[in-house]
């Protein structure tokens, strides 16, 4: 079962249980209950992940670079994007620390905790066991509050344990979905210890850093099952790209709800082939760059969303947040003067020198050829030309053209023997880079494809000498 479906099927106390819902509301995490999807579009998310570049923290698309920002998190999930970053060391706590927290914060005995750790091979609690802990504490809390002889301190303790188990289940299934998709890391229970200050932690930025980290891993070759997909990623793709991912709009949605609650995804295939093709042919008018304009009354733009630097989810997950890629148009329209703009490009294919070559090298390897000569030459040709210039190789055509013009000019004038000697000397020197360049390229071809062809030819010759039966 995917994490979103787990959250949707989670049993919750009645709304009249103020002690429970007041605590959940005060944590700042209650909106997460509305942003879970029963179906995960694995094919869609995989196709986007293939275009993720860890160096820039952006998706490289034919229309430019885009990324998931703090503003996206704020609007899609309605959780805090300010406050203290989660600052734990490593990616998990020790088993002894986990036992202590289970006993003190979840009312889960050390012996039972150790048994669970042995099954999970670390200080982790499976979703199934955490659900059991939550239900046990909830039932004990309800019994205790109806028992007149029960001490008030015990009742509050059981209530707090119930809320902690519930919130750990919630963030483990939505914000911090790990590769296994089977358990929750107990390290996050640390931040649920003091319930009144849960909302002071920056859950939005830390959840974004956690997702960036998994995108970085998933973008590597031969990474296997990368996991880490969550409702935020899927909701972002729905909000910005109407063409991708089949979904309905929830008829009961209002602007008071997180934008992520607007969508009701359908079950689609898990293979990314079709989406890859669509992304390769993407046009600018298919992208919604500012999808939250009608949501600003509920969720105003926060200045922290401009932050450009490092965000973290513990010391082991530190990633760059570069909103300038996403807000470039907004910045240009509102903060860049006409003098700063410079001359406008007349054609869509005009770019800064070197950009096309860089984009072609680092972006998704499958680029569809443009139609109608726009850009005027394919990206791979641009790459070869710019690489030649970058390596300070000569422009053979330009050198030969210049030499011919100089020779013609001398031939059309009175040419003495000494002038002819000087001309020949100059032509000899001017053509030297051409010879060096051609020799270099020939050696480069011979060192790769040439060797392969020679080896193949030798193998064939030897086969003919030996014969099919192995006898000469």
**Contact residues for 104 (Cβ-Cβ < 8 A; gap 6+):** none
Q: Are both 224 and 119 inside the same structural domain?
A: yes
Domain that holds residue 423: 396-466
pLDDT at 422: 86
- Domain boundary (390, 413, 446) is at 390
Shared-domain flag, residues 311 and 456: no
In a domain, 332, yes or no: no
Do 406 and 436 share a domain, yes or no? yes
pLDDT value for 337: 62
**Domain endpoint, select from 390, 409, 428:** 390
Q: Decide if 306 is inside a domain.
A: yes
133 with 277, same domain?
Answer: yes
Whether 113 maps to a domain, the answer reads: yes
**Separation of alpha carbons 159 and 106, rounded Å:** 10
Query: Is the residue at 308 inside a domain?
Result: yes
pLDDT at residue 436, as a whole number? 57
Residues 246, 190 share a domain: yes
Tell me what pLDDT residue 437 has: 53
The confidence score (pLDDT) of residue 281 equals 82
What integer pLDDT is reported at residue 265 of this predicted model?
Answer: 80
Is 336 part of a structural domain of the chain? Answer: no
Instruction: Give the pLDDT confidence score for residue 387 in this predicted structure.
Output: 57
E strand or H helix that includes residue 53 = strand 52-53
Question: What residues of the chain score a pLDDT lower than 50?
Answer: 224-226, 364-372, 438-454, 457-472
Do 7 and 44 belong together in one domain? yes
Residues 311 and 427 placed together within one structural domain of the fold: no
Do 96 and 82 reside in the same domain of the chain?
A: yes
User: Looking at the domain assignment, is residue 241 inside a domain?
Assistant: yes
Specify if 459 maps to a domain: yes
Same domain? For 421 and 375 the reply is no
- The count of domains in the chain is 3
Q: Same structural domain for residues 318 and 354?
A: no
Q: Give the per-residue pLDDT at 472.
A: 36
Note whether 109 and 43 are same-domain residues.
yes
Give yes or no: residues 411 and 318 share one domain.
no
Global confidence as pTM? 0.70
The answer to whether 217 touches 265, Cβ cutoff 8 Å, is no
Which of 209, 160, 223, 119 lies closest to 27, judged by CA? 160
CA distances from 336 to 139, 218, 343, 346 (A): 60, 36, 13, 19
């Amino acid at each position: 079962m995917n994490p979103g479906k787990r959250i949707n099927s989670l049993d919750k106390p009645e709304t009249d249980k103020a002690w429970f819902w007041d605590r959940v509301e005060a944590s700042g995490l209650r909106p997460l209950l509305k942003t879970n999807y029963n179906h995960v579009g694995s094919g869609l998310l995989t196709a986007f992940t293939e275009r993720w570049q860890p160096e820039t923290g952006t998706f490289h698309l034919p229309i430019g670079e885009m990324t998931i920002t703090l503003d996206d998190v704020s609007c899609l999930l309605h959780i805090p994007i300010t406050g203290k970053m989660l600052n734990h060391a490593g990616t998990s706590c020790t088993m002894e620390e986990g036992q202590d927290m289970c006993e003190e914060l979840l009312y889960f005995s050390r012996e039972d905790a150790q048994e669970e750790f042995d099954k999970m091979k670390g200080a982790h609690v499976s979703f199934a066991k955490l659900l059991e802990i939550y239900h046990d504490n909830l039932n004990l809390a309800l019994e205790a509050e109806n028992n007149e002889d029960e001490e008030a301190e015990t009742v509050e303790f059981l209530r707090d344990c119930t809320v902690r188990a519930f919130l750990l289940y919630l963030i483990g299934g939505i914000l911090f979905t790990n590769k296994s998709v089977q358990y929750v890391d107990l390290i996050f229970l640390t931040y649920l210890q003091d319930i009144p200050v849960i909302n002071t932690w920056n859950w939005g930025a830390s959840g974004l850093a956690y997702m960036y980290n998994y995108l970085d891993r998933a973008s590597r070759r031969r990474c296997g099952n990368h996991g880490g997909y969550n409702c935020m990623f899927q909701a972002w793709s729905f909000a910005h790209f109407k063409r991708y991912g089949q979904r309905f709009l929830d008829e009961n949605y209002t602007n008071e709800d997180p934008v992520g609650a607007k969508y009701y995804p359908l079950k689609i295939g898990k293979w990314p082939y079709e989406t890859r093709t669509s992304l390769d042919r993407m046009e600018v008018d298919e992208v919604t760059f500012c999808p939250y304009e009608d949501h600003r009354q509920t969720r105003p733009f926060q200045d922290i969303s401009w932050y450009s630097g490092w965000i973290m989810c513990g010391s082991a997950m530190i990633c760059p947040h570069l909103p300038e890629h996403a807000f470039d148009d907004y910045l240009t329209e509102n903060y860049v003067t006409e003098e700063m703009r410079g001359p406008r490009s007349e054609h869509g294919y005009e770019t800064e020198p070197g950009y096309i070559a860089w984009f072609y090298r680092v972006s998704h390897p499958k680029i569809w050829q443009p139609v109608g000569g726009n850009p005027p030459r394919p990206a791979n040709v641009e790459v070869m030309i710019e690489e030649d210039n970058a390596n300070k190789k000569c422009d053979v055509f330009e050198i030969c053209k210049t030499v011919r013009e100089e020779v013609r000019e001398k031939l059309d004038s009175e040419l003495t023997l000494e002038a002819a000697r000087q001309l020949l000397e100059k032509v000899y020197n001017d053509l030297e880079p051409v010879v060096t360049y051609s020799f270099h390229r020939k050696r480069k071809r011979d060192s790769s494809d040439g060797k392969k062809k020679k080896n193949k030819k030798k193998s064939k010759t030897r086969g003919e000498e030996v014969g099919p039966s192995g006898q000469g």
